[in-house]
Structure 1
């Protein structure tokens, strides 16, 4: 087996978090006098971190105006307050996640989460979902100076795990994961059930598309 570590995205890869993100986003909009958006619309805004989610959510308005920095800051405060309340409440594991993580663990591969979600939301979510114990390290959206699709978070995870990038495997659901892994010289798999900002994962430049984390483990063991 050529891989000694696996780096996993969180939202849209391990957990379906859209119901909670949509609830917090719409609570923010209502507090600001805006009408709610559909879960599918909000799902298309997920992937580049909370600030991007809030900015795009606030930009969806009848006037077509882009919020200024002060409006985004206010939105972030309101969103964060609501998301802290609902974080993990309706989030569910995707099929095959536990089986795949257990298979990776049994093989001796080191594991880390690499997500664009801020630490303040990531750690409670991993605890609440029962996944925290699988991972040696957690790299969040505010751990490094730059987020995915920049390679920095993946390379930082490799340093923490003490593995070379070429010996690691990344697994995600979006263009951010694919671009970051390619730039870091890390093999990358995509799952088709996540968000990918509303785009088809078949358009991504990845090593393969797998139907589940369990299938990703089997792919890793035979490649």
Structure 2
């Protein structure tokens, strides 16, 4: 889709039938729970914790890549220690992945408003699939979504376009009818490859870089702006 076509569609947003949201960093601030799990993993392996500020810049490519970055930070052999470290991380995160995570501002107001306007909503995340629905339900937003796709549902993750295509099919929609909403360059690149327009939130997890540098179709400060 050309830049002029994107602009035309953004000028008439009602043409979108579905909105596909990223989860971590877009709808929910999950860093506090992720950081605790990473720090406990590093301590188990005999290293000092990394801390929430560092972990915040390591997110965006799924649990495996997060653990790899933590191992490199600790000066460990990421190749040989990765399997053990990932197992420890998943154990810690699975035990306590809803304790500290919180919705970003205006999410709870925006989602029902979007559903009321007739949009079909879905989640496409790189987090493990079995850790999506429990978090949505814990935060009382699960009922707003018709479908969700996790990072282990397919052989590839975002920024590959396949997860977005799979999510669109679950919504019974074609790519041109979908708007992607994310927080990182992975979401922007995935949407571009999938032939979908993309809105980016400015407050998410993008490796410390300004999301505007990734040239999304537009940047929003609140999910409520989508209404």
Question: Which one of 96, 114, 128 corresponds to residue 104 of structure 1?
Answer: 114
Q: Secondary structure at the match of 2:132?
A: helix
Q: TM-score, normalised by structure 1?
A: 0.93
Deviation string, structure 1 residues 55-87 (Cα, Å, up to 9, x no partner): 1111112xx45412x411101111111111220
Work out whether 1:146 is the aligned partner of 2:156: yes
Corresponding residue number in structure 2 for 1:73: 83
What is the match of residue 3 of structure 2?
none
CA distance in 1, matches of 2:224, 2:91: 35
Match of 2:64 in 1: 51
Partner of 1:221: none
Structure 1 CA distance for aligned equivalents of residues 84 and 132 of structure 2: 21
Partner Cα separation in structure 1 for residue 172 and residue 58 of structure 2: 33
CA shift, 1:38, in A, is 2.2
Report how many aligned residue pairs link the two structures: 214
Whole-angstrom distance in 2 between the partners of 1:66 and 1:188? 37
Q: How far apart, in 2, do the equivalents of 1:120 and 1:77 lie?
A: 15
Of the structure 1 ranges 40-49 and 7-16, higher mean CA displacement relative to structure 2 is found in 40-49
TM-score, reference length from structure 2 = 0.91
The aligned runs of 1:1-223 (5 Å cut-off) are 1-61=14-74, 64-68=75-79, 70-215=80-225, 217-218=226-227
Segment drifting more, 181-190 vs 37-46: 37-46
Q: Distance in 2 between matches of 1:123 and 1:54?
A: 22
- Alpha-carbon separation, structure 1, partners of 2:64 and 2:24: 15
Q: Deviations over 1:30-76 (max 9, x none)?
A: 00001011212111111100000011111112xx45412x4111011
What is the alpha-carbon distance in structure 1 between the residues aligned to residue 31 and residue 96 of structure 2? 11
Distance 1:83 1:13 in 2: 19
Return 5+ residue gaps in structure 2 as ranges.
1-13
Secondary structure in 2 matching 1:90:
coil
Q: Which ranges in structure 1 are unaligned for 5 or more consecutive residues?
A: 219-223
Q: Aligned-pair distance for 1:203?
A: 0.6
What secondary structure does 1:196 align onto? coil
